[in-house]
Amino acid sequence: MFDDPGRDAWQKPREVIAALGIGPGMTVADLGAGTGYFTHHLAKAVAPGGTVYAIDTEPNLVTYLRARAEQEGAANVTPVLASADDPRLPAAAVDVVLVVDTFHHIDQRLGYFQRLKRVLRPGGRVAIIDWRIDQLPVGPPPDHKIAREQVIEEMEAAGYRLAQEPAKLLPYHYVLVFEPS
């Protein structure tokens, strides 16, 4: 389900990566990487010379991410076993933190995203892509979603400002790009 090829039609990973300006030599963190759906695309986008941190809190998924990276020959992917309150990334090392369909899974978001600022390089950004509240043909039920406005409010409280919002990029998601304020 997570890596269903049909997902490309509505998740549009190549278009998302282009809209976020992710390219060769960059360091990107895929926060809540799961099975590596975005990690796979990011690894290609940052090559050569770039790195993707594939972060998850589930040990079995991190093991899977490592095996997948090895199978795909993606030497630029570093799987990271994070804790619930720390992504376990080096300071000032990341250009873009990508958070896809994961924001609502993070407990104590205010503190988490305040601490996350330390991993960003100067000019670094946090991109949050999550489900619109509408009833949609794919995705979780509405009660498992967070409204765009709530994400903006929480990120502002954590010390970020909304820097970009690519309109109409995805049919079922909003895309919000934040910079530390």
Q: How high is the pLDDT of residue 11?
A: 78
Q: How high is the pLDDT of residue 1?
A: 46
- The pLDDT tens digits for 13-37 are 999 999 999 999 999 999 999 999 9
% pLDDT > 70, the chain: 97
Which domains can be identified in the chain, with CATH numbers?
7-180 (3.40.50.150)
Contact by Cβ (8 Å): 30, 55: yes
Task: Return d(Cα 129, Cα 127) in angstroms, integer.
Answer: 6
58 is written with which tokens?
């589930």
CB-CB neighbours of 139 under 10 Å: 17
Residue (of 46, 52, 37, 50) closest to 4 by Cα position: 37
Q: How high is the pLDDT of residue 144?
A: 85
Contact by Cβ (8 Å): 19, 45: no
Q: How high is the pLDDT of residue 135?
A: 78
% pLDDT > 90, the chain: 85
